[in-house]
Amino acid sequence: MRDRLTILFASVSLFIVGACQDRDVENAAFGSPSVNNQAAAQGSRATTPVGGGPFGIDLSRGLAGLDVAPRQQTDPPGLYTLNSVPAPHSDFEAYAVVAHADVGICEIRAASSSRQDQHGVHSRQVVDRLAAALSTRYGEPRKLDRCGGYSCDAEFWTMQLSEGSRTYGYEWTSPREQPGSMRPRSVSLSVQAPDIIQTFVRLDYEFGDARRCEQASRAAGAANL
């Protein structure tokens, strides 16, 4: 299980990346604006459930309060796999954050379980449904549905994805960076393929100052050289 999580969160091919459920439940796990609006309208002590960020994670606290799994020697610098999150989403089974002591949380990542899906039909349906839910919070996304391989025959859809010749997903980018804000700089939702017959869904949020996060990541990677 540990090796699988490391592969999911370390080997990322982003855009360079179940049953239908109630929309309010989906939005709550993603950090729903409707909850904040309701609390403001009531003018009371009502607050967003748990941390208020995606999956209930409170970005202002960094790693404090998160159920972080013991780190392994092979874990990439700054990457922390989570045993659980305050507000899990039923479509995802694995969670991780990228965080640095002097910067805080730079990324929140989530991945579904993998399943046999040779033509990618199931994962595309899940991604389209999640994109509709995320769009209520972040607006219209940029959809990426591309194939640039020698063959784009739908029969080999997942194989093309695993080889990197096909991309399927959505991307939201904030108009400006907001360091210290709960609003992410970018959100990426995609179908990933660990092999030619299996797929899983990947959701990534990037927060904070991109330059500082990149500098902290480079510094952490060079720490033991």
- Cα gap 167→157, rounded to integer Å: 10
pTM > 0.85: yes or no: no
Q: Environment class of residue 205 by beta-carbon count within 10 Å: exposed (0-12), middle (13-18) or buried (19+)?
A: buried
What pLDDT sits at residue 52?
76
pLDDT tens, position by position, 173-218: 975 555 556 789 999 999 999 999 999 999 999 998 889 999 998 9
CA angle, 111 then 67 then 22, to 5°:
50
CA proximity to 170, closest of 140, 193, 136, 208: 140
Cα distance between residue 33 and residue 71, in whole Å? 33
Question: How do residues 70-98 score in pLDDT, each as one tens digit?
Answer: 988 888 889 999 999 999 999 999 999 99
Instruction: State yes or no: pLDDT of 31 exceeds 70.
Output: no
